[in-house]
A and B are shown apart, each in its own frame.
Chain A
Amino acid sequence: MNIVPFAASAAPGLSKGMETMSEVPILEIRHLKKYFPIYSSGLIFSKQTGAVKAVDDVSFTVTKGETVGIVGESGCGKSTLGKTIMRLTDRTEGQVLFHEKDIATFNREEMQELRKSIQMVFQDPYASLNPRMTIGKTLEEPLLVNHVGSAQERENMVREMLREVGLDPSHYNSYPHEFSGGQRQRIAIARALINKPEVIIADEAVSALDVSVQAQIINLMKDMQKKYHLTYLFISHDLSVIRYISDRIVVMYLGRIMEIADKEDLFTRTIHPYTESLLEAAPQLTRRRQGKLIMNMDIPSASNPPSGCVFHTRCAGARQECETLVPELLDIGCQHCVACHRAKELVR
């Protein structure tokens, strides 16, 4: 198999978008970095002594209408990546192109449009809903901010949206505490959808729910995707959920992408040793735990990531070059990209 480096300007998956006109890239993330400075406080001035490399040189492309899953252990930068894509936090370096335009260059009007077009849904809907605001007002607010319709029209839109996410429109005047966890997540989804966005970034949106409620919410999200041609960035640490919902999956470790592949490809033709370990660790209905996990569990910190391949300190197959050379994310065919010096020998 040939391993071809992709051009510095093009992100993996882009070529696929160019082949067929229908697959337009809606988001292009190019060499994106987000570092959080670490300061040590001096007497008068505090001095920057380092940085947490939360997102470090991440590139990938998202096609309109697809669901891209993002997985990785806690602290690997999934949420930071989501927030940087929405410009909730400013990038350190690199670019995020939305409809081929760099969001860092957006003026106020364009930013306001972006705020409508990309919405986020979080894990804990209770924390993200105002406890003193009725559901009606909570859903009306985004419309109000964007000066949509008259008061009556807005109320009608809210009631219609409640119905769409499977809630009774009579809940218009209820407060968040009157709802169960699953219902609150429906409200959060309704709020994200009310301004007819193009992209939804779901950050652990179903992680706190019981399995049968989780199934209901996942079904709802899929229905809404079909109906409104939504594009999803679906962040989760749950591999079985990611496998079910995603078209493509991005595996992150310490701020970097280790592997990107079409969903079935990732699970059936796993190449990166980190992905392998993650799949191995995930609980499965079909197997009994025997013996001990092989992976070294000494997890390095994002403020002092290992040299070379960031995974080398935990990788059973690490070689000398892994300690010094950062492996490039290379396409090994079929848009399956791997950042590992051993990728070639691991492909079979």
Chain B
Amino acid sequence: MAEAVLKIKNLCVDFLDDHTIVPAVSDLSIDIFPGETVGLVGESGCGKSTTSLAIMRLLDTNNARISKGSIELHGQDLTKLSEKEMQRIRGKEISMIFQEPMTSLNPVYTIGRQLTEGIVLHQGVSQKEAETIAIDMLQKVDIPRPEIMMKSYPFELSGGMRQRVMIAIALSCNPKILIADEPTTALDVTVQAQILDLMNSLRDELQMAVILITHDLGVVAEICKYVYVMYAGQIVETAAIDDLLNDPLHPYTQGLLNSMPDRWQGGDRLYNIPGTVPLPGTEIKGCKFADRCEYCTEKCRQAPPPLVRLDEHRSVRCFRSAGTQ
């Protein structure tokens, strides 16, 4: 079996809010293999973006820190690197694309300039060579007339075009890992389908590992091999996609799936999970899902359930589902 390109082990991220420490991500472990797409799903505020920023070491150092754990890229722990060393990793080894391409593209520079910048920096080639690579990259992401696109500005492009340019920039230095944080959330389903197809084919072609962050289980179902479900800063279930869809184990995963209109079983209501996500920093002694869980028992309120590994690809953080209640 291939070696994992990225091993995240027991990662904890805290925010420092007026001298109080607010844990946003706790004890998160993920292994990612080349040529695979894994999904990280969960509702708004569960810590998905915080996780991706931590991997990129892009957290705001003034109020956030990695308090525990390691992020190993080919055996090298990224949490131990200096900012200078990290700059050589970003874009070259690990790239990231964000939800809103307009905010991550610089409005005053041409697409060509934004593309070639990273190529010159990371590959040490001349501007001329960088332009050839850039045009090649735009072709890879199916942009018609790439020479003209090089001279365009971000505002001249549609949302789908911009996201493709972002992907071209992210992939221009052949990174081993691509982190895509809600890459299609603002797009039409048709454009989304096209971007997902593109991510699929580039992943296969370049043997990249892709971490897809999204709140949309439909998107995960379509392109991910494995899924990590997050709730309130923790992984609560991991599974191969088919297992997760056919037999969700954690009550939260069950609730998420049952809330989807696609899973509506008849009757005049949609299922919904009662209550709301606890705010980060809320003191919870037991299971973080306890207040919203229909199976909650006394034990669930007394101690936090551990993430129990059931087989190679399946773990669950629930006393009941792990059979330890």
Residues of A near any B CB (own CB < 8 A)? 73-74, 180-182, 210-216, 218-219, 222, 237, 239-241, 243-245, 277-278, 280-289, 291-293, 295, 297-299
Q: Which residue in chain B gives the minimum CB-CB distance to A289?
A: B222
Contact check: which of B189, B197, B215, B255 meets A292 at CB < 8 Å? B197
In the complex, are the beta carbons of B221 and A212 less than 8 A apart? no
B219 neighbours in A (Cβ, 8 Å): 283
Contact check: which of B43, B144, B196, B260 meets A285 at CB < 8 Å? B260
B286 neighbours in A (Cβ, 8 Å): none
Q: Which residue in chain A gives the minimum CB-CB distance to B196?
A: A289
A187–chain B nearest beta-carbon distance, Å: 15
In the complex, what distance in Å separates the CA atom of A286 from the CA atom of B261? 13
In the complex, are the beta carbons of B221 and A295 less than 8 A apart? no
Interface residues as binary, B158-177 with A (CB distance below 8 Å gives 1, 0 otherwise)? 11100000000000000000
Contact check: which of A215, A243, A287 meets B259 at CB < 8 Å? A215
CB-defined A-B contacts under 8 Å, sample of 14: A73-B188, A73-B189, A210-B44, A211-B215, A211-B259, A212-B255, A222-B268, A237-B188, A240-B260, A281-B190, A283-B219, A283-B222, A289-B193, A291-B197
In the complex, are the beta carbons of A289 and B200 less than 8 A apart? yes
B153 neighbours in A (Cβ, 8 Å): none
Known: A180-B276, A210-B44. A219 touches B269 (CB 8 A): yes
A280-B193, A281-B189, A285-B245 given; 14 more Cβ-contact pairs under 8 Å: A74-B159, A182-B276, A211-B256, A215-B270, A219-B272, A239-B189, A241-B261, A278-B190, A283-B222, A284-B222, A285-B218, A285-B262, A292-B194, A298-B144
In the complex, what distance in Å separates the CA atom of A74 from the CA atom of B255? 30
Number of A-B contacts (CB under 8 A): 114
Q: Which residue in chain B gives the minimum CB-CB distance to A299?
A: B158
Q: Which residue in chain B gives the minimum CB-CB distance to A182?
A: B276
In the complex, are the beta carbons of B44 and A181 less than 8 A apart? yes
Q: Does B201 contact A (CB under 8 A)?
A: yes
B262 neighbours in A (Cβ, 8 Å): 240, 284-285
In the complex, what distance in Å separates the CA atom of A292 from the CA atom of B269? 36
Contact check: which of B44, B189, B194, B263 meets A283 at CB < 8 Å? B189
Contact check: which of B201, B223, B259 meets A212 at CB < 8 Å? B259
In the complex, are the beta carbons of A283 and B221 less than 8 A apart? yes
B193 neighbours in A (Cβ, 8 Å): 280-283, 289, 293
In the complex, are the beta carbons of A285 and B189 less than 8 A apart? no
In the complex, are the beta carbons of B269 and A222 less than 8 A apart? yes
A303–chain B nearest beta-carbon distance, Å: 14
In the complex, are the beta carbons of B189 and A215 less than 8 A apart? no
A282 neighbours in B (Cβ, 8 Å): 189, 193, 218
In the complex, are the beta carbons of A211 and B260 less than 8 A apart? yes
In the complex, what distance in Å separates the CA atom of A212 from the CA atom of B263? 12
B123–chain A nearest beta-carbon distance, Å: 29
In the complex, are the beta carbons of B272 and A215 less than 8 A apart? yes
Contact residues of B between 189 and 233, Cβ < 8 Å to A: 189-194, 196-197, 200-201, 215-219, 221-223
Contact check: which of B191, B221, B268 meets A288 at CB < 8 Å? B221
In the complex, what distance in Å separates the CA atom of A280 from the CA atom of B194? 11
Contact check: which of B144, B221, B264 meets A284 at CB < 8 Å? B221
Known: A285-B221, A297-B160. A244 touches B215 (CB 8 A): no
In the complex, are the beta carbons of B221 and A277 less than 8 A apart? no
Q: Which residue in chain B gives the minimum CB-CB distance to A274?
A: B190
B273 neighbours in A (Cβ, 8 Å): 212
In the complex, what distance in Å separates the CA atom of A56 from the CA atom of B234? 50
In the complex, are the beta carbons of B270 and A244 less than 8 A apart? yes
A254–chain B nearest beta-carbon distance, Å: 13
In the complex, are the beta carbons of A212 and B261 less than 8 A apart? no
Interface residues as binary, B38-70 with A (CB distance below 8 Å gives 1, 0 otherwise)? 000001100000000000000000000000000
Q: Which residue in chain B gives the minimum CB-CB distance to A277?
A: B190
Contact check: which of A212, A283, A287 meets B256 at CB < 8 Å? A212
In the complex, what distance in Å separates the CA atom of A210 from the CA atom of B215? 7
The residue among A244, A277, A289 with the most chain B CB atoms within 10 A of its own CB is: A289
The residue among B144, B188, B215 with the most chain A CB atoms within 10 A of its own CB is: B188
In the complex, what distance in Å separates the CA atom of A280 from the CA atom of B222? 12
Contact residues of B between 50 and 107, Cβ < 8 Å to A: none
In the complex, what distance in Å separates the CA atom of A222 from the CA atom of B269? 8
In the complex, what distance in Å separates the CA atom of A291 from the CA atom of B257? 26
In the complex, are the beta carbons of A281 and B217 less than 8 A apart? no
A338–chain B nearest beta-carbon distance, Å: 19
In the complex, what distance in Å separates the CA atom of A278 from the CA atom of B217? 18
Contact check: which of B191, B200, B218, B255 meets A297 at CB < 8 Å? B191
Q: Which residue in chain B gives the minimum CB-CB distance to A301?
A: B158
B221 neighbours in A (Cβ, 8 Å): 283-288
In the complex, what distance in Å separates the CA atom of A111 from the CA atom of B14? 55
In the complex, are the beta carbons of B200 and A281 less than 8 A apart? no
Leading 5 A-B pairs by shortest Cβ distance: A283-B218, A244-B261, A215-B272, A281-B193, A215-B270
